[in-house]
Amino acid sequence: MNIMWIAIGAAAAIGLTALATAWAQSRIGAAGAAVLAEKPELAGTVIILVAIPETMVILGFIVALSLILRIGGG
């Protein structure tokens, strides 16, 4: 397979999921900071909420690695 397309695929897998995670975390993080200012005892819940979207970029990272190592033969 054309190595260029593998590289683009891997970049898209990590790049798009990173953007999606960043966008989601920015919204949740801002709201979470506001919540903590009012109710510091909700720190645990806020950590959970902020950390939830990270699954996207982590799975994106694994897909990108799989593309490069398995298909790319690297």
Nearer of residues 1 and 69 to other proteins, judged by Cβ: 69
- Tell me how far, at minimum, the Cβ of 35 lies from other proteins, in Å: 13
**Stretch of 4-12, 17-25, 28-36, 58-66 contacting other proteins, by CB under 8 A:** 58-66
Distance of CA 37 to the CA centre of its chain: 26
CB atoms within 10 A of CB 56: 18
Residue 51 lies near other proteins (rule: CB under 8 A): yes
Query: For binding to other proteins (CB under 8 A), which residues are involved?
Result: 43-45, 47-48, 51-52, 54-55, 58-59, 61-62, 65, 69
